[in-house]
Amino acid sequence: MIPARWLLLSVMALSLPPIQAQRCVAQSPASQLTQTEAMADLLGCQQGMRLCAVGVAKTDVTPKGPVVLAGYGGRRMEHEGIDTKLWARAMVIGSEKPVAVVAIDNCGVPAAVTARLAERLARHGIPREHLVVASTHTHNAPNLTGYAPVLWAGRMNAAQRKNMADYTDFAVGQMEVAVVAALRQRQSMELDWAQGRVGFGGNRRVLNNGQWAGFGFQRRGPVDHSLPVLVARDTKGRVRALWANYACHCTSVGSRNRVGGDWAGYANEAIEENFPGAVALMTIGCGADVGPQPSGNIEIARQHGQSIAAEIRRLLSGRTTPLAGPPTVVARQVQLPLVKPKGRLHWQEQLHKGSGFHQQLAKAMLARIEAQGKLKPTVDYPVSVWKFKDDLAMVFLGGEVVVDYSVRLNRELDWSRLWITAWANAMPGYIPSRRVLAEGGYEADFSQVYYEQPGRYDPRVEDLVVQAVTDLAGKPFAAVPGQQPAPFNKLPSGVDGVLRKLSERLRAGNLSEAEAAVVDRIRKLLPRARSAIDKALKDDGQTTDWYNFAGDTVARRFFRQQTRGHMLRWQTPATEARGQMVYAFTGGVGWISSAGTAGFELRADDQPPVPLDVTLTAANWNSENGKAELLYLPTWNSPEDSGGFFFLILPKPAKVITIRSLGDGSNRWFAVDEEQDLGNRLRRLGNALKLRD
């Protein structure tokens, strides 16, 4: 009797249609399997041996002719050159009804394109629900037919539309080549996974009074710095495949009109350099509102990619978690509700009154109404989960999913056994959370126009997506009571870094004589220092988010030297102490290049005032009679601003401290942090200054 697996391979070989592959790189052929390995392969996973059928391959999907790139609507001409090649990278796991993932260097793969590929692969024994098509979301790859259709409606000529359609056909064919090659090259391997951290993703939604104000770096916004990694090793222990996932836009390079894989492409390249003979796959997590920090050129993209490769190398040098494969697959199509779509009359008015993208959207909506009678109030949305027993749940979500979904799913499920990939199987557009919908802006509103949606989502969308995932993951992956929060959904504090640098400067003697004197004085004062701030009093200050002593963005109370007499005031904590007092607080000063004035004045009750001004280095100021003194030790600074520790020495306790502007017409400012946490901060500062108890 012929083994089922061999028969399957024979059928695949006979039914494989002729495909013009530009290039295909794969692992060792299955014919090299030993009898033991073949039996393990046949079973999918040999219990005890932990051997599982795995195949990987990649095909070149770099465009061979002119084509318009996706990602930036301002680029209306075909690409002007190639920075790096583009690839479709496939991994297949299991024998009977295997699962397959293909990660393609592209901005987004529409559901219709996924369906075309799925139809082809069904002939090779891969069920539709077992296929994941994920894009790296590089903004420097060709636009596929159906991707962000309104963005290009009326803006491409006939030749450009044909080139796009031709490239789409080519990409589908090359993805098929990659998956079929991976199928044919399956061999017995062991699967492991690990979860690392990479920190270059930053939330890009800048807010003003709680509302979206544009793109930038919102340091207090949520992120997902997890880096889950799946590794496949052959029976000799050699790494043959590495699949990693990170939640961040692939926009490091910027809008240059050249083909390239951005940081994900450089990550794959660096991983494969670190592990010769392996094929790397990079997919993207819930990073729809997360961008690379910094960004702007190829070298930055390369550095981000190399940081991922370095973390993977570190992870694989330590302990990894073994997996029993192939995974079981569960999937669901969810109907995501939109706010009730407008009727025909609205779109007719938009057609005649509107212009540009809104006019193109009106045309599309009227055509849909004509064909269907009315606009569908929901969006088809695919959700699937691969479960490697109870050891790992891989979640796959369609579209550009904002990071709040990672934050919430990491809370409702066991984040230590969770992997979330977005941009998978469909591109209905951005998938906003309840928070993002409340804040408004690009991801909630205008992006819907590009993706040919009739309006914004109903806030219920978040609960529906999360419920689908938690249902599919099931109770074995539910969070346990009292589960610790995931450690990667907030930017790490810069406290350790700035204090370490301060210690290094002290050890190296890299302080000026004046700065060294301030540090010596603070060393002596620290044991007696107590918090200066109990609560803010009515003043002329404003609250904003800015960099504190550690470079973290925090809420701060500040005012400028724009008007003489403007002030900040606060009440000090009650005390029964007598005699000299040492008060401490954290804050900062800034905009040193703005016009100089008479500066600021600090006064505690009726005690002697202390003049001060903006500085980027350690400084001390004294009252005219020398009885009051203010020391300032910056631990973070930019070319314009600094943040650090203030120490106020007074001859007696004070109830109210006031800082007042002595000048006007300048943007120079003074700020205090709204959250002080002085006990912890002074202790850590003391350690950095080598304070001895």
For residue 339, is pLDDT > 60?
yes
Which pLDDT belongs to residue 209?
83
Spatial CB neighbours of 502, under 8 Å, sequence gap ≥ 6: 635, 688, 689
Which region holds residue 235: left if phi is over 0, alpha if psi is between -120 and 50, else beta? alpha
Three-class SS state of 664: coil
The DSSP code sequence of 62-123 is --SS--PBSS-TT--SPP--BSS--EEEEEEE-SSS-EEEEEESSS---HHHHHHHHHHHHT
Q: For residues 248 and 201, is the Cβ–Cβ distance under 8 A?
A: yes
Q: Which domain holds residue 192?
A: 4-328
Which pLDDT belongs to residue 354?
74
pTM of the model: 0.80
Q: How many domains does the chain have?
A: 2
Kindly state the average pLDDT of the residues 37-48.
Answer: 41
- Residue given tokens 């599919």 in the structure block: 472
Q: Select from 303, 328, 353 the last residue of a domain.
A: 328
Gyration radius of the chain over CA positions: 30
Kindly state the average pLDDT of the residues 6-13.
Answer: 27
Cα separation values, 480 from 475, 485, 502, Å: 10, 11, 41
- Residue given tokens 């991707």 in the structure block: 147
Cα separation values, 380 from 332, 399, 427, 462, Å: 10, 11, 10, 14
| Tens-digit pLDDT profile for residues 406-452 | 999 999 999 999 999 999 999 999 999 999 999 999 999 999 999 99
Kindly state the average pLDDT of the residues 453-463.
Answer: 97
Position 388 in a domain = no
593: nearest Cα among 485, 529, 666? 666
Which pLDDT belongs to residue 38?
37
Which region holds residue 520: left if phi is over 0, alpha if psi is between -120 and 50, else beta? alpha
| Tens-digit pLDDT profile for residues 507-548 | 888 889 999 999 999 999 999 999 999 999 999 999 988 889
Q: How far apart, in whole angstroms, are the C-alpha atoms of residue 68 and residue 531? A: 60
Q: Select from 328, 352, 367 the last residue of a domain.
A: 328
Q: For residues 628 and 609, is the Cβ–Cβ distance under 8 A?
A: yes
| Tens-digit pLDDT profile for residues 75-85 | 999 999 999 99
CATH of the domain at 654: 2.60.120
Which pLDDT belongs to residue 15?
27
Q: How far apart, in whole angstroms, are the C-alpha atoms of residue 299 and residue 279? A: 23
Q: For residues 437 and 444, is the Cβ–Cβ distance under 8 A?
A: yes
569: nearest Cα among 656, 655, 648, 650? 656
- Number of Cβ atoms within 10 Å of the Cβ of 525: 16
Q: Select from 328, 343, 371 the last residue of a domain.
A: 328
Which pLDDT belongs to residue 49?
55
For residue 325, is pLDDT > 60?
yes
Which pLDDT belongs to residue 220?
85
- Number of Cβ atoms within 10 Å of the Cβ of 218: 22
Q: How far apart, in whole angstroms, are the C-alpha atoms of residue 188 and residue 95? A: 10
Q: For residues 598 and 660, is the Cβ–Cβ distance under 8 A?
A: no
What average pLDDT does the structure give for the chain?
91
| Tens-digit pLDDT profile for residues 88-110 | 999 999 998 899 999 999 999 99
For residue 493, is pLDDT > 60?
yes
176: nearest Cα among 242, 90, 280, 94? 90
Q: For residues 120 and 176, is the Cβ–Cβ distance under 8 A?
A: yes
251 token code pair: 């926009």
Q: For residues 659 and 568, is the Cβ–Cβ distance under 8 A?
A: yes
| Tens-digit pLDDT profile for residues 117-163 | 999 999 999 999 999 999 999 999 999 999 999 999 989 999 999 99
Position 94 in a domain = yes
Q: How far apart, in whole angstroms, are the C-alpha atoms of residue 379 and residue 338? A: 7
For residue 308, is pLDDT > 80?
yes
For residue 28, is pLDDT > 70?
no
- Reported as a pLDDT band with limits 50, 70 and 90, residue 457 is very high
Q: How far apart, in whole angstroms, are the C-alpha atoms of residue 125 and residue 111? A: 20
Q: How far apart, in whole angstroms, are the C-alpha atoms of residue 46 and residue 56? A: 20
- Reported as a pLDDT band with limits 50, 70 and 90, residue 394 is very high
State percent of the chain over pLDDT 90. Answer: 86
| Tens-digit pLDDT profile for residues 253-289 | 999 999 999 999 999 999 999 999 999 999 999 999 9
Which pLDDT belongs to residue 50?
79
Q: How many CA atoms lie within 13 A of 336 on its CB side?
A: 26
157: nearest Cα among 66, 257, 86? 66
Q: How many helices, marked H, and strands, marked E, lie in the chain?
A: 16, 34
| Tens-digit pLDDT profile for residues 599-637 | 999 999 999 999 999 999 999 999 999 999 999 999 999
Of 379-393, 472-486, 546-560, the range with the lowest mean pLDDT is 546-560
